[in-house]
Amino acid sequence: MNSEIAPGKYLVQQGGKVDLSASPTLEPPLYSSKKEYSNVLERQVRQLSDIQQRHYADNRYAVLLIFQAMDAAGKDSAIRHVMSGINPQGCQVYSFKHPSPHELDHDFLWRTNSVLPERGRIGIFNRSYYEEVLIVRVHPEIFVGQGIPEVRMKNGDVWKQRYRSINELERHLHRNGTRILKFFLHLSKEEQRKRFLERIDRPEKNWKFSMADIGERKYWKEYMKAYEDCLSATSTRYAPWYVIPADDKKNARLLVSRIILDMFQGLRLEFPEADAQRTEELRECRNMLMREES
């Protein structure tokens, strides 16, 4: 990877004000050829696979990776490529769409809280509880279906209250061993248009597209404002946001994998060491197996 491009460049500092119009959606490639891209990604995926085994055995931390973006930004492909070497037993991926009636009968954090990763595992949220301060903000009529008391619906501080709830949840999770990374894949409106056209023109991608996707493009400015406020209010030291330029999918995958690797390496994970009693037990087991051979 090009050492001149540091992942920290894309970090949203706690208390910082996000202006997405000033954040690039496309940057010079971190690879000189398709072959180099494949080699770098393969190496980083292999490193992630090795670390994940130690993470599972170490069993002190849980890891939660959150991906948010506009449609066609490449969330699915980023997850698929970056996590391709991870043992499925140690990784759980959840995609959150429109909540069910049962989920709507609970608070807005309930459905995601029920599937948080256990220690030793990696949880991936493809969309998340952040939808509740993004799409719900752009389409406030969704509040009606959530059964929110009317006084709250008219309260202009509702988003600040939800940011606070999210921050308190993430702080609680961090205190109890969950490490959180959050990625906003920053796509330009023009690049989204091109990717939508590709979904229409390629029959095998038709299923990914609907007229509703065109409708949501009309709210682009509203979504950018919602993302700016959300990222500004909820990027913290213990649960940081990264704004990843996403017009180049390959670049985005290399950045995401590097950031995840850096986080894991900072945990100093180790395979558990056997104490004297365990060592003696293993010695006895070995002797028993060796006697079977004779």
Which H or E run includes 219?
A: none
What type of residue is 249? K
The whole-number pLDDT of residue 92 equals 92
What residues pair up with 186 in beta bridges, in sequence order? 245
pLDDT digit string, tens, across residues 204-230:
888 888 898 899 999 999 999 999 999
Structure tokens at 187: 């796509």
The phi and psi torsions of 38 (rounded to 5 degrees) equal -60, -40
Nearest to 108 by CA among 145, 71, 76: 145
pTM for the whole thing?
Answer: 0.91
* CA distances in angstroms from 104 to 61, 79, 99, 100, listed in the order given: 30, 27, 6, 6
Tell me the per-residue pLDDT of 227-284, one tens digit each, with 9 for 90 and over: 999 999 999 999 999 999 999 999 999 999 999 999 999 998 988 887 788 888 888 8
Return the axis-axis angle of helices 220-234 and 158-175, rounded to nearest 10°.
40
